[in-house]
Amino acid sequence: MALEDAKTQIDHAFTRPDAAGLSFENAFGGATSFLRRRYTKDLAGIDVAFTGIPFDQAVTHRPGCRFGPRAVREASSLQPYDPPYGWGYSPLEAFSVADYGDMPFDYAKVWEVPAAIEAHIAGILDQGAAAITLGGDHFITLPILRAHAAKHGPLALVQFDAHSDSWADDDPDRIDHGTFVYKAVEEGLIDPARSVAIGIRTENPDTRGVTVIDAPEVHRTGPDAVAARVREIVGTGPCYLTFDIDALDPAFAPGTGTPVWGGLSSGQAAILLRELAGLDIVGGDVVEVSPQYDTSGATAVAGAHVAMEILCLWGWTRRG
């Protein structure tokens, strides 16, 4: 840590002189942004924009992930001092990264939210930046995929989750976090033959053609073998990565709305994510962090690390 910098840096969320570089602001002080990046709506020259979508009105059980983006930003304040361990490069120094802030919406007009999310993400992509989103419940991934598919065409989906989220739903007006995969397949946003769901441990026989690697398989075969299989399934085309924090076992991420035992450890998830390096990740999200159910803050910490790993994956094929 650069002690001289720590003595002078404060509120980098607003005072950063540039969009690339590490930050040495005291983790316990200052205005919080994701990884101490500067808040801006002007993405000229920005490679990656983090944004929050604090929407949780599509949940089937406990609400509260509307507070996820704020908690993940705060938890990320320990990360921007050094390059992320094990990657061999420094994405915060290699790329210009900004915090685009949260998406505004009228919470009393829920029916307007899907189009608002799609437009919000399209607004980032249209400025030439990649979008990594902090949720929010898992419904938000559907309109995010619409924006990405409009730019890249049908995507491979890599989904970390306890639930398949592929329950049948032919009503286009329903807003439900358990049906986004079903609708994404039906709308042609994702190619199920190139898509995979990891960590599943709830019953739903209809996967819409998406390959499922359930949590017991991860435990039995190990994350390296699973990652190799994922790379084989996804191939070389554009890929979107969505990480529901309930993919982790409640011992590692109790702060979520629909916890299920028998999930991945944070160590397994870290290995899996890093072994996916080389996939053409064009965007991603981490969702379902509900900090009020976790007095330790561990769930938000996990969410912040997942978001950093998505940044590392995006940068891996674009560095240097």
Angle in degrees, 0-180, between the axes of helices 266-274 and 298-316, rounded to the nearest 10: 10
C-alpha–C-alpha distance, residues 28 and 36, integer Å: 12
- Whole-model pTM: value is 0.97
The domain of 212 spans 3-316
Q: Tokens at residue 219, please?
A: 């435990």
From residue 34, give the alpha-carbon distance in Å to each of 247, 261, 307.
22, 29, 9
Instruction: List all residues 6 or more positions away from 141 whose beta carbon is below 8 Å from its beta carbon.
Output: 135, 180, 184, 242, 285, 287
> DSSP letters of 218-275?
HHHH-HHHHHHHHHHHHTTSEEEEEEEGGGB-TTT---SSS--SS-B-HHHHHHHHHT
For the stretch 39-60, pLDDT in tens is: 999 999 999 999 999 999 999 9
280 marked as part of a ligand binding site: no
* Residue listed under structure tokens 């803050």: 297
List the CATH number of the domain containing 191. Answer: 3.40.800.10
Over the stretch 235-267, which tens digit does the pLDDT of each residue have?
999 999 999 999 999 999 999 999 999 999 999
Q: Does the annotation flag 56 for ligand binding?
A: no
d(CA 312, CA 320): 13
CB 30 within 8 A of CB 10: yes
Domain count, the chain: 1
pLDDT in tens, 53-108: 999 999 999 999 999 999 999 999 999 999 999 999 999 999 999 999 999 999 99
Q: Does the annotation place 163 within a ligand binding site? A: yes
Q: CA–CA separation, 14 vs 131, rounded Å? A: 20
pLDDT averaged over the chain? 96
DSSP-derived 3-state class of residue 21: coil
274 in Cβ contact with 54 (< 8 Å): no
**Residue 176 labelled as part of a binding site:** no
Q: Is 130 exposed, middle or buried (0-12, 13-18, 19+ CB in 10 A)?
A: buried
Residues contacting 29, CB < 8 A, separation 6+: 10
